[in-house]
Amino acid sequence: MSIFNSWPGEKGATSYGDIDAYFTSANSEGTLIFWTLVCIGILCFTTWAAARHESETDKNTK
């Protein structure tokens, strides 16, 4: 059973014959971990940015 991959990395397959996981970078666990960490980073960063904005509003309206 093959899996697809695309940039970055080697291509895992070039056709849909005998394919299971067919999403981007499916054969590169390191790349999947990277995107997972980016997701977590975005969630943490936006929550922090919202909290900072609220604190600034607090200061500016005193």
Partner 1 sequence: MTLEELTTAVITQTYVAAEGWYYIMTGLMVAIHVGFLMYEVGASRMQNAVSSGVKNLLAFAFMIPTFWLFGWYIYLAFPHGLIPMDMEGYGVPWNVSMGPMLSDQLTGVFWAAFTLFACTTASVFSGAVIERIRISSFVFLAVLLGSVCWNLGASWGWHYDGWLVTKFGYHDVAAAGVVHMIAGWFAFGVILNLGPRVGRYNADGSMNELEGHDLRFSFVGLLMIIVGFFGFLGACLIWPGIPAYEGVNTWTTIYFVPATLSSFAFNTLMGLAGGMIGAFWISKGNPFWMMSGGLAGIFSCASGLDIWYPGLAFVLGFVGGCIIIPANNWLHKVFKIDDPVGAVAVHGVAGIWGVLAMGIFASGYPGMDDTIPAASLYGQFVGALTMFAVGFIPGWGVSFVMKMMGWLRVPDHVQQAGIDKAELGLKATNY
Residues contributing to the site for partner 1 (CB under 8 A) = 4, 6-7, 11, 13-16, 19, 22-26, 32, 35-36, 38-39, 42-43, 45-46, 49-50, 53
Q: How far apart are CA 49 and CA 8, in angstroms?
A: 30
Q: CB of 42: closest distance to partner 1 in angstroms?
A: 5
Which secondary structure element, helix H or strand E, spans residue 20, and what is its range?
A: none
**Bridge partners, 22 (sequence order):** none
Based on CB atoms, which residue is closest to partner 1, 42 or 58? 42
Report in angstroms how near the CB of residue 21 gets to partner 1 at its nearest. Answer: 9
User: What radius of gyration do the chain's Cα atoms show?
Assistant: 20
